[in-house]
């Protein structure tokens, strides 16, 4: 074949199977002596791996020198992993920064029978170091936030976890919630508890992201300032579907990713100073407002207490009137019942009272004069043989029942009420009823 290495792809059925496989690549960064484990489908190309390596090694593709790729894979970077001839399921590679010349030496460590050395021209020669954003589909290893994330809170938690996995644990404490919740946590609190809101927008297509995340956000003074005065909310804009989450906010300070540590720290301190001055004013205004509200609450409480006391008095008066009416009604009922009973007794006595004898009856008749209360007198004729009970019934008919009045004889003065009902006849000149 003229000394050229020919890459043979598997048959159609085998190729479909290999394209669906997941290849595990262990990439050793010889510059930092760190090993990165990456998972790729068989449909990914060699160039995809090189571009992804740029995100964690910060070595542009054209300056990368690799060990571990088969010769045929290096000849055509568009070769898929399924056709590259790498080991399955695990394959080990090593990468470092190449010499300054545009060509670099690649040694195939997999082919022990071929010790020849080939020169490889980087396929990405046309890329410049000033390129900030490139095709995001080939710049991502594990996304900080998955594509088309529906739950914003879950996306933020995933962002914090993947940020730690990718850049280590030396970073600000990202708020594990939605942007609205972060705004509430930072701003919608009492003035003395408020903090600034720092929004970090990440993009894997930026060549500055690795430096910014590791060197600036991991700088000790920056960390102390952010954790002390800020609520830090992070979001990944790499996928187009997640860009709509970065809604419009009022921004006091905006910093690009190409700033240095000094500039970043200075901007943060200035923002904190401005915020602190404003916070003092808001604290004072809030305390004054709380004092006014407290006075108003006390006045309202006193008014309500007075109102309740007045209501209680009115209720007591109403209860007293109701009670008096009840007593009055009961008294009236009792009086009516007594009057009915008294009238019944009077009618019974009247029915048993014999007619007054005429004066023509002669000597068998006597006149009895009754001196009634209020100096009134009543005279009636009785037979000498009339029982005392008849006389008492006469007094009942006149409205003087024995239960309420006593009857005394004129001379000698004697109470004759106890002998009511006695059948014996008594001769007397007069009986004088007196009030009990």
The pLDDT assigned to 8 comes to 45
Contacts of residue 310, Cβ cutoff 8 Å, sequence gap at least 6: none
Packing angle of the helix pair 220-229, 261-352 (nearest 10 deg): 20
CA 143, CA 102: separation in Å to the nearest integer? 31
Query: Is 190 among the domain residues?
Result: yes
Selected residue with higher pLDDT from 176 and 75:
176
Residue 76 has pLDDT above 50, yes or no: yes
**If DSSP codes are grouped into helix, strand and coil, which group holds residue 91?**
strand
169 shares a domain with 228:
yes
Q: Return the DSSP state at 148.
A: T
Selected residue with higher pLDDT from 271 and 14:
271
Residue 424 has pLDDT above 80, yes or no: no
272 shares a domain with 158:
yes
Supply φ then ψ for residue 125, to 5 degrees: -60, -30
157 shares a domain with 98:
no
Query: Is 106 among the domain residues?
Result: yes
Q: Which of 245, 263, 279 is the last residue of a domain?
A: 279
Contacts of residue 160, Cβ cutoff 8 Å, sequence gap at least 6: 174, 176, 234
Q: Which of 279, 297, 320 is the last residue of a domain?
A: 279
CA 4, CA 358: separation in Å to the nearest integer? 173
108 shares a domain with 179:
no
Whole-model pTM?
Answer: 0.42
- In this prediction, residue 310 has a pLDDT band, given cuts at 50, 70 and 90, of very high
The pLDDT assigned to 425 comes to 33
Unique residue bearing structure tokens 């008014």: 303
CA 393, CA 401: separation in Å to the nearest integer? 8
Contacts of residue 405, Cβ cutoff 8 Å, sequence gap at least 6: 395, 417, 433, 434, 435, 436
User: Residue 98: which CATH number?
Assistant: 3.10.20.90
The pLDDT assigned to 252 comes to 63
Q: What is the pLDDT of residues 170-180, one digit of tens each?
A: 999 999 999 99
Residue 74 has pLDDT above 60, yes or no: yes
Packing angle of the helix pair 261-352, 388-397 (nearest 10 deg): 130
428: how many CB neighbours lie within 10 A of its CB?
17
Span 414-431, average pLDDT: 48
The pLDDT assigned to 227 comes to 94
Query: Is 316 among the domain residues?
Result: no
β-bridge partners, 41: 22
Query: Is 290 among the domain residues?
Result: no
State the residue range of the domain holding 251: 152-279
Residue 316 has pLDDT above 90, yes or no: yes
Longest dimension (CA), the chain: 185
Residue 168 has pLDDT above 50, yes or no: yes
Q: Among 61-70, 111-120, 327-336, 400-409, which is the least confidently predicted range? A: 111-120
Do 89 and 23 contact (CB within 8 A), yes or no?
Answer: yes
The pLDDT assigned to 301 comes to 95
182 shares a domain with 116:
no
161 shares a domain with 80:
no
The pLDDT assigned to 246 comes to 60
Give the total number of structural domains in the chain: 3
Contacts of residue 226, Cβ cutoff 8 Å, sequence gap at least 6: 172, 198, 217, 232, 268
Span 309-313, average pLDDT: 95
Q: What is the pLDDT of residues 208-218, one digit of tens each?
A: 888 889 888 98
User: Residue 213: which CATH number?
Assistant: 3.40.30.10
Span 283-288, average pLDDT: 94
DSSP output for 399-436: T--TTTEEEEETTTTEE-GGGTT--S----S-EEEEE-
Query: Is 306 among the domain residues?
Result: no
Torsion of CA 286, 289, 291, 292, to 10 degrees: 180
210 shares a domain with 157:
yes
Measuring CA to CA, which residue among 138, 6, 141, 159 is closest to residue 71?
Answer: 6
Query: Is 293 among the domain residues?
Result: no
Span 183-189, average pLDDT: 93
CA 298, CA 288: separation in Å to the nearest integer? 15
Alpha helices in 198-259 (DSSP H): 209-211, 220-229
Residue 142 has pLDDT above 60, yes or no: yes
Query: Is 236 among the domain residues?
Result: yes
Residue 436 has pLDDT above 60, yes or no: no
162 shares a domain with 249:
yes
116 shares a domain with 174:
no
Structure tokens at 119: 């020169």
268 shares a domain with 162:
yes
Query: Is 321 among the domain residues?
Result: no
Structure tokens at 323: 């009670």
Structure tokens at 279: 């916070």
176 shares a domain with 120:
no
231 shares a domain with 159:
yes
Q: Which of 92, 109, 126 is the last residue of a domain?
A: 126
């Amino acid at each position: 074949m003229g000394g050229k290495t020919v890459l043979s792809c598997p048959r159609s059925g085998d190729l479909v199977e290999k394209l669906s496989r997941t290849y595990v690549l262990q990439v050793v960064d010889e510059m930092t002596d760190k090993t990165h484990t990456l998972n790729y489908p068989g449909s990914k190309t060699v160039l995809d791996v090189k571009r992804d390596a740029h995100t964690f090694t910060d070595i542009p593709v054209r300056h990368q020198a690799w060990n571990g790729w088969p010769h045929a894979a290096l000849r055509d970077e568009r070769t898929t992993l399924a056709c590259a001839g790498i080991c399955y399921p695990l394959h080990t590679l090593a990468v470092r920064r190449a010499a300054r010349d545009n060509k670099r030496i690649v040694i195939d460590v997999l082919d022990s029978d071929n010790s020849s050395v080939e020169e490889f021209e980087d396929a990405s020669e046309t890329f410049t170091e000033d390129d900030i954003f490139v095709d995001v589909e080939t710049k991502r290893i594990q996304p900080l936030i998955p594509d088309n994330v529906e739950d914003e809170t879950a996306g933020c938690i995933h962002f914090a976890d993947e940020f730690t996995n990718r850049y280590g644990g030396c970073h600000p404490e990202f708020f594990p919630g939605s942007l609205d919740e972060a705004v509430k946590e930072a701003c919608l609190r009492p003035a003395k508890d408020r903090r600034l809101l720092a929004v970090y927008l990440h993009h894997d297509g930026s060549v500055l992201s690795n430096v910014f995340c590791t060197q600036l956000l991991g700088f000790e003074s920056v960390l102390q300032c952010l954790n002390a005065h800020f609520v830090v909310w992070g979001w990944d804009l790499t996928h187009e579907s997640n860009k709509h989450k970065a809604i419009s906010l009022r921004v006091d300070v905006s910093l690009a990713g190409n700033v240095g540590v000094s500039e970043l720290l200075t901007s943060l301190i200035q923002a904190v100073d401005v915020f602190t001055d404003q916070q003092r004013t808001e604290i004072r205004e809030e305390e004054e407002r709380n004092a006014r509200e407290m006075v108003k609450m006390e006045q309202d409480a006193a008014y309500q207490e007075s109102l309740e006391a007045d209501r209680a008095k009115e209720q007591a008066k109403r209860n007293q009137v109701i009670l008096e009416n009840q007593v009055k009604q009961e008294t009236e009922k009792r009086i009516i019942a007594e009057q009915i009973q008294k009238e019944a007794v009077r009618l019974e006595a009247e029915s048993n009272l014999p007619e007054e004898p005429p004066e023509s009856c002669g000597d068998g008749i006597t006149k009895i004069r009754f001196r009634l209360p209020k100096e009134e007198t009543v005279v009636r004729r009785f037979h000498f043989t009339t029982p005392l009970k008849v006389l008492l019934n006469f007094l009942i008919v006149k409205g003087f029942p024995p239960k309420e009045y006593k009857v005394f004889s004129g001379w000698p003065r004697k109470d004759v009420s106890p002998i009511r009902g006695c059948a014996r006849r008594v001769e007397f000149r007069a009986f004088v009823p007196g009030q009990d």
